[in-house]
Structure 1
């Protein structure tokens, strides 16, 4: 998926700001800052909204899932098509601080395992920065986090659609999202060649494609 700052062309919700705690919740308990709740089927896996204190750990997680040799332990790696950075503290911090935007964290016993960014954009939910620790990929953590992200967008923000952008040659990744109910829209967006914030391309045919799912 694209860099956290590579969003698709850049109120109705239960809280007046998605980063504010809901009734009965707080930023450190099992129920997080957007009313996030653990999925019973995943046992000790819980969800919360990230805070500025999480930025450094989130950058490390995202980089480990997509860049360098460590990312090759998992199947989401982009190391063969992109070098350089995947995200940075500035990008992640902006996602946390931005209105109508939340970085979701999946954790177990306080350990950061996965993250995703959701936001309200153009009347739909936006899903990005989806990262699972490489050694834990394939174990259901990502699916559980995606389900929680969709729940927040559908039930709390009252939005009918979730959208994302994916590099269109990532066939295995696109197939994963298709199995989760996302469809290819055929809408293509150019890859920002020359902008180091999005990494260092190793090929000249990269583009983003918009995927969406009715919630």
Structure 2
């Protein structure tokens, strides 16, 4: 079975919209106000054009997607490092490692090895029943929170990928996470 990780193109927009709306259905039922949960084709195209939007394909079908907002981009994350967002997996493939494989590939090959970024951040709703725990099991550490006016508090989590670069590049990074590597 051929597996491909690649950057999305505008030609992928319809397929990404369909995947996103199906994947975020539980989020809409929970009444959590994630941008991707109410995406339309224009928002998908905007995400592809303005961020590094990656897809995971099997046999030519997109089964998962994740985007990276860059610190220098239009919508940077809170800590001056690449920021993961718009993470969606085909719901028929849940609990099969698809999302973990894509996230690990993006963390390692893109953020750590290509961008040479020392860390990555992401945000999720404090009201989501399992996402915070899932990200913590993947090595993310809670780094702060903020009310962004979406009806929930956004919990920011960070993961250090290159401890050797921490002191050189992380100016706005949460000190309690940095202290783990300064011992």
From 4, 8, 11, give the equivalent of 1:50: 8
2:32 touches 2:128 (CA, 8 Å); kept in 1? no
In structure 1, how many angstroms separate the alpha carbons of the residues matched to 2:70 and 2:139? Answer: 20
Question: What's the offset of the Cα at 1:62?
Answer: 0.8
Deviation sequence 1:57-115 (CA, Å, 0-9, x none) = 11111110112xxx5xxxxx4412248952122222122212xx311100111011000
* Structure 1 unmatched runs, 5+: 1-42, 72-76, 193-204
> Which structure shows the higher helix fraction?
2
Could you say which residue in structure 2 is the equivalent of 1:93?
A: 45
* Structure 2 unmatched runs, 5+: 162-183
Q: TM-score, normalised by structure 1?
A: 0.65
1:212 aligns with 2:169: no
1:130 aligns with 2:87: yes
In structure 1, how many angstroms separate the alpha carbons of the residues matched to 2:24 and 2:125? Answer: 13
Could you say which residue in structure 2 is the equivalent of 1:62?
A: 20
User: What SS does the aligned partner of 1:175 have?
Assistant: helix
From 132, 157, 165, give the equivalent of 1:174: 132
Q: TM-score, normalised by structure 2?
A: 0.75
Matches within 5 A, 1:16-27: none
Could you say which residue in structure 1 is the equivalent of 2:104?
A: 147
In structure 2, how many angstroms separate the alpha carbons of the residues matched to 1:55 and 1:103? Answer: 11
In structure 2, how many angstroms separate the alpha carbons of the residues matched to 1:88 and 1:48? Answer: 22
Could you say which residue in structure 1 is the equivalent of 2:31?
A: 81
Cα root mean square deviation, aligned: 2.0
